[in-house]
Structure 1
Amino acid sequence: MSALLTRALEKRANTWSQMQEILAVAEREGRDLTAEEREKWDRAEKDVTEASQDVERLERMARLDTVQRDQLVIADGPTGEDRGNTDPEAAYRGAFGQYVRGGMSGLDNEQRQLLMSNMSEVRAQATSPGSAGGYFIPTETLNQITETMKAYGGILSLANVLNTTSGNPLNWPSNDDTANVGAILAENSQITEQDVTLGQKTLGAYTYTSKLVRVSLQLLQDSAFSIDTWLPRKLGERIGRAVAAHLATGTGTGQPEGLFTNATAGKTGTTGQTTSIIYDDLIDLIHSVDPAYRQSPNTRFVMSDSALKMVRKLKDGNQLPLWQPSTQMGVPDTLLGYGVTVDNGVPVPAANAKSIGFGDVSAAYVVRQVAGGQLMRLEERYADYLQVGFFGFMRLDAKPDDTSAFRVYAHSAT
């Protein structure tokens, strides 16, 4: 664990303890908070929020660092006899890195053949790269994009992700047999019939683009700058932000259907709770999900940062805070014993809003990704600016799967 992350975790825990002490003093003396105590509380709450953001940021960087950077920084590909001793994926990465920096004119014949051939499963479904200028992103680089997307959208890191090699409609059967039970069979009696009812769901493949990134020729020629690392990260951030919003509240028409969009309300706030929630509501929300799902290690709360701020102020019947900040890297903050995932694509607390979800997201939600993001290089379009344009795109769809595994808290309308 880095020293920065350790300090951020300690700062958050210490500040949270100070906030609880402010409340404890007022409760022992049987009075409301004074103006000075409210001011201290607000300052401390701001510090907790900033420290939490630092923790999330540093943990995100730790996850990104698990990608082997030495495999991504490939400004110069192998040549001559060395290339014959290199595995096909490594050779392709080298050719791809050369292409990013110098375009097709910077490649030798072997490298051009590598880019245009189907040398691995990752590139098996490429679409005429020679004419369109698009080439499949190498496996390790694509993994980096995926990690970045997870960092910017919490739901993606929890869902059941299916990777396919093509974007054809993907059908699979669905079934809810929980209402059917077996029975005692009397002697010499015929067994009664109870058919299994199957449904069908279909996942398509919407195309998400990073939009255009323009890079100067000077930067491309600068071997000290790792364009092979920087560019995929930018693509991943942009695509990830767009995906995150749809995975939370997508309409399902022309875009994925979000996890929260049509989720069943396990608890609805009483009149007046348009932007608030109480302890009993959270208990009811938890118990609206069947114990079979509550016992899963993947079960947790999902909410926006604004909803987390609301929840942090809640206490149980013994006046103990419900939210417990973690002091260890990799150990999540907990709420009533369950982990909390923050995804700002989830609606903020508001009238009628579904601002908090609870359940096993891996069972409740499925994401289909078409293997292989692609990158295109626009060399002539910005030549008079001495710039090269890049954009990436990848195909994805998502839908609720087992709707019994996830419930939401809905605020009152008034």
Structure 2
Amino acid sequence: MTINELREKRAKAWEDTKSFLESHRGEKGTLSAADENTYNAMMADIDALGKEVQRLEKQEAIDKELSKAVNQPFTNKPGANTLSEEIIDKMKPARARSGYAKDLLKAMRSNFKLVTNLLQEGVDADGGYLVPEEYDKRIIDTLKEDNIMRGLATTITTSGEHKINIAATKPAAAWIEEGEALVFSDAKFAQTLLDAHKLHVAIKITEELLYDNAFNLENYIITEFGKAMANAEEDAFLNGNGSGKPLGLFAETGGATVANTLTAAIKADDMLDLIYALKRPYRKSAKFILNDQTLLALRKLKDNNGAYMWQPSYQAGEPDKILGYDVFTSAYAPATAISFGDYSYYNIGDRGTRSMQELRELYAGNGMIGYVVKERVDGKLVLPEAVQILKLNA
């Protein structure tokens, strides 16, 4: 089945679900237990179709990328003096050179008996080896793909404590008569700091598996470490309290602004109040972040015109929408809150590069080898008014 056919099938399923909901409401406007189960099953089918569309879109994008021509056109005149690829490669930082990744894999499989000069250049201050640049990019790609905040926030690479200046007061214009004295106002600035908190992922593998050339060690490291770090990061960027980890959007202190706290079940008007609690300049790029269970409840709500607030996406690469704004769901978003705002004001500070360390002696008695990948990262919302939170009745 093609992507377009799946999208059409999903759209039809959504229309059928809406019709079912309308035709099976009782006198009190609610569903019976049997109808509720049928409705939830229909919604589950819609979700499954949506995930299949996303998988095919990703597959199509990869096929398109791999089908690009490998050969590159000549850009230099014949006979012109150019540096050889070998010299250019040597001019790059150690972990960016072509042989660094291959040498690191050889060293890992040889109990680090085959350590080249190139690897010696790539040792960080903690005694581990810096992750090869192509690994680091692919791990970051994994973080962006699996971590919604990596795709929405602003990422900064820092070499030390990073200070962000925020305008506390802004100059105001004033009318004056001709010849009168000018009125001056003071510009004041506040500062917020991005520090560095250590995040690590540790795994153990058997010696036999490590030395087996059929075992794709490179792909295993990128995939498993990348996903684990992405999950830990997303949880911290949303819920972290700033103590030993980043400060999250939903943090009670230092997080986003609480627009309203509901004491009854959520209604369509509450979502409209949340949208307009956010100042107009921020609404231009605003998006929703919420839990899947919260989205399930919102799918049943209608606006004042009788239209469903949740609008499924019919186009490739486009997220679903609520009242015209993109919706992103996270398993780590609290089920008792909805976030709406411009997440570019959430700053992620990556301190340096990721590194990998081997722990061979620790598990030697079990015939296993441990590996640890570490990164130092911080994150916080530098402008709380840019994101508004609606707290729900538990």
TM-score exceeds 0.5: yes
Which runs of 5 or more structure 1 residues have no equivalent in the other structure? 69-81, 350-354
Bigger mean CA offset, 26-35 vs 187-196:
26-35
Which residue of 273, 293, 296 maps to 1:309? Answer: 296
Cα distance per residue 1:210-235 (max 9 Å; x no partner): 1x211223322333332112112211
Corresponding residue of 1:77: none
- The aligned residue for residue 121 of structure 2 is 117
Displacement of 1:6 in angstroms is 6.0
Aligned equivalents of 2:233, 2:144: Cα separation in 1 = 10
Question: Does structure 1 conserve the Cα–Cα contact (< 8 Å) formed by 2:195 and 2:378?
Answer: yes
Report the counterpart of residue 193 of structure 1 in structure 2. Answer: 184
Equivalent of 1:172 in 161, 164, 169: 164
Query: Partners of 1:177 and 1:142 in 2: how far apart?
Result: 40
1:156 aligns with 2:156: no
Q: Which of 237, 242, 247 lines up with 2:237 in the alignment?
A: 247
Contact 1:64/1:148 (8 A) holds in 2: no
Distance 1:375 1:411 in 2: 42
CA distance in 1: counterparts of 2:64 and 2:244, whole angstroms = 34
Over 3 Å counting, the alpha-carbon distance change for 1:387 and 1:5 in structure 2 is farther
Residues 356-371 of structure 1: pairs in structure 2 closer than 5 A: 356-363=338-345, 365-371=346-352
Identity fraction in percent: 28
Provide the C-alpha distance between the structure 1 equivalents of 2:60 and 2:238, rounded to a whole number of angstroms: 25
Cα distance, 1:384 vs structure 2: 4.2
Q: Deviations over 1:230-268 (max 9, x none)?
A: 112211122222221111111112221111213212233
Aligned to 1:326: 313
- Matching residue's letter, 1:340: V
- One-letter amino acid of the counterpart of residue 134, structure 2: E
The root-mean-square deviation of aligned C-alpha atoms, in Å, is 3.0
Letter paired with 2:182: I
Bigger CA drift: 84-93 or 6-15? 6-15
Q: 1:288 corresponds to which residue?
A: 277
Question: Do residues 106 (structure 1) and 114 (structure 2) align?
Answer: yes
Displacement of 1:39: 3.3
**Which deviations, in whole Å up to 9, do the C-alpha atoms of 1:179-208 show, x marking residues without a partner?**
x53122221111112111101111111000
Deviations 1:374-402 (A, max 9, x none): 11112333334443211111000111112
Aligned partner of residue 382 in structure 1, secondary structure: helix
Equivalent position of 1:97 in the other structure = 105
* Structure-2-length-normalised TM-score: 0.83
Residue equivalent to 1:335? 322
Q: C-alpha distance in 1, partners of 2:216/2:136? A: 16
| Alpha-carbon contact 1:19-1:45 (below 8 Å) kept | yes
Confirm or deny: 8 A CA contact 2:292 2:330 kept in the other structure.
yes
Select the residue among 397, 400, 404 that pairs with 2:378.
397
Tell me the SS of whatever aligns to 1:174. strand
Cα distance in 1 between the residues matched to 2:164 and 2:29: 59
**3-state SS in 2 of match to 1:317:** coil
Structure 1 contact 156–247 (Cα < 8 Å) conserved: no
Q: Is the 8 A contact 1:155 1:343 kept in 2?
A: no
Cα distance in structure 1, aligned partners of 2:5 and 2:206: 38
- After the TM superposition, which residues 121-132 of structure 1 pair with which residues of structure 2 at under 5 Å, given as runs? 126-127=124-125, 132=127
> AA paired with 2:167?
N
Relative to structure 1, is the Cα distance of residues 5 and 372 closer, same or farther in structure 2, using a 3 angstrom cutoff? farther
Aligned partner of 1:410 in structure 2 is 391
Aligned positions, number: 368
**C-alpha separation in 1, matches of 2:230 and 2:274:** 29
| Contact kept in structure 1, 2:256 and 2:385, CA below 8 Å | no
Tell me how far apart the structure 2 counterparts of residues 347 and 28 of structure 1 sit (CA, whole Å). 31
- Shift in alpha-carbon separation, 1:308–1:197, aligned structure 2, 3 A: same
Equivalent residue, structure 2, for 1:87: 89
Structure 1 residue aligned with 2:23: 25
Structure 2: runs of 5+ lacking an equivalent: 67-83, 91-96
State the alpha-carbon separation in 2 of the partners of residues 155 and 162 from structure 1.
Answer: 13
Task: Name the residue aligned to 1:76.
Answer: none
Q: TM-score, normalised by structure 1?
A: 0.79
Post-superposition offset of 1:317: 2.2
Matched, 1:215 2:213: no
In the alignment, is the contact (CA less than 8 A) between 1:83 and 1:91 conserved in 2? no
Q: CA deviation at 1:29?
A: 10
Which one of the candidate residues 314, 333, 346 is aligned to 1:346? 333
Counterpart of 1:234 in structure 2 is: 224
Verify the 8 A CA contact 1:171 1:202 in the aligned structure 2. yes
